[in-house]
Amino acid sequence: MQRSSTRNDFMSLLKKIILFDEAPDPFRQMLCEAVVPAEYSGGILYRQGEPGDWMVIVLSGRLEKSILQHPSSPEISIGEVGPGGICGDMGMLGVSKVRSHSCKCIEQSSLLLLSKTAFRALVDMTGGIEKYPLLQQLETMQNLTGDTESFYGLPCFRKMERECVKKTCEFLEPRLYYPGMALMKEGEMGFEMFIVYSGKVEVLKGSMRVAELGGGVVLGDVAVFGSDKRRTATVKCLECTLVYVLNGEVVHETLEQFPRTKQIHDHDYIARLLRFELEKAAEEVDHLENFYGKCHPMKTDEVSRDIFGRDVDVK
């Protein structure tokens, strides 16, 4: 990147990528020399389960990410990455030693590759992690994705049979979310549930925050297990958050193999669903009462005066 115009364009791009947005200016300037340009017209960049400690920045073109839930099942697409997007960051940041998904090029693409070694060297040369708030959060997540033993102690798994937890862990897909990113959006269709392993999220109904949650909570199961697949709330990350994702169909199939755990799970789910429906009904009643007035006997002039704020000449 010797041309100044190219370097300026790259610097502008880095400001839009949350991973580099809060980095010191010298870091972004030196990053221009640390990345390795690559051109791809198609093919696999990396495969799920392979070791990898480098990431990709997309300048142009498109990449597709996919996961394999079961050896006998086809791969499932989990999204595309376009210009300004990144992938493979979990490996480069040391959160995971192996790839959590496969990534392939689906059209002619110009990419920049950044290794963990080059990234760490830049951080050290530009003040260390003390100058990089995002990295300080990520330091607590080093190699967490290989720690399956800790899942047995999570609140969402404590009542489950150990073998069921072990089986479920085989299908967990780790994802790293950055501050401000949404896990789910209210009203969208949902077929995945999320286990917040590390970090912090907020739950929003409309624009109102209704909860702030940390590690160990399960999100999205109402849509996965219920008949209505629409998300009932928006969930956004307040800090770097490591989430494990479970496909709804996989959860159903796993629970069928463990009847006792399924019974406990169904009981807990129905209790949560009942609480949710009661809260939803209360909100609907409040809305109707605010619009129409409360349902209690009142004379016409009282309704007009107390609800509509005007007097009526009743003859």
Res 180: pLDDT: 92
Give the Å distances, CA to CA, from 99 to 96, 103, 181: 7, 9, 21
Question: Sheet harboring 86-87: ordered strands across?
Answer: 36-40, 109-115, 54-60, 86-87
Query: 34-67 as b/e, with b when 16 or more CB fall inside 10 Å?
Result: bbeeeebeeeebbebeeebbbbbbbbebebbbbb
Q: Which of residues 140, 174, 193 is at a domain's end?
A: 140
Same domain, 93 and 162: no
Which residue from 114, 78, 133, 113 is spatially nearest to 243, judged by alpha carbons? 78
Same domain, 47 and 82: yes
Model-level pTM? 0.76
- How many domains does the chain contain in total? 2
Same domain, 125 and 175: no
Res 312: pLDDT: 55
Under DSSP, is residue 98 helix (H, G, I), strand (E, B) or coil? Answer: strand
pLDDT tens digits for range 252-290? 888 889 999 888 888 887 887 787 778 778 778 777 877
Q: Is residue 308 part of a domain?
A: no
Same domain, 115 and 201: no
Q: Is residue 178 part of a domain?
A: yes
Under DSSP, is residue 55 helix (H, G, I), strand (E, B) or coil? Answer: strand
Same domain, 85 and 201: no
Q: Report how far apart the first and last C-alpha atoms of the chain are (Å, whole number).
A: 86
Block residue for tokens 């219920």: 226
Res 5: pLDDT: 65
Domain with residue 163: its CATH number is 2.60.120.10
Per the structure, the complete domain to which residue 86 belongs is given by: 4-140
Instruction: Name the stretches of the chain with pLDDT < 50.
Output: 314-315
Q: In whole angstroms, what is the distance from residue 52 CA to residue 116 CA?
A: 9
Res 24: pLDDT: 81
Same domain, 48 and 119: yes
Res 133: pLDDT: 83
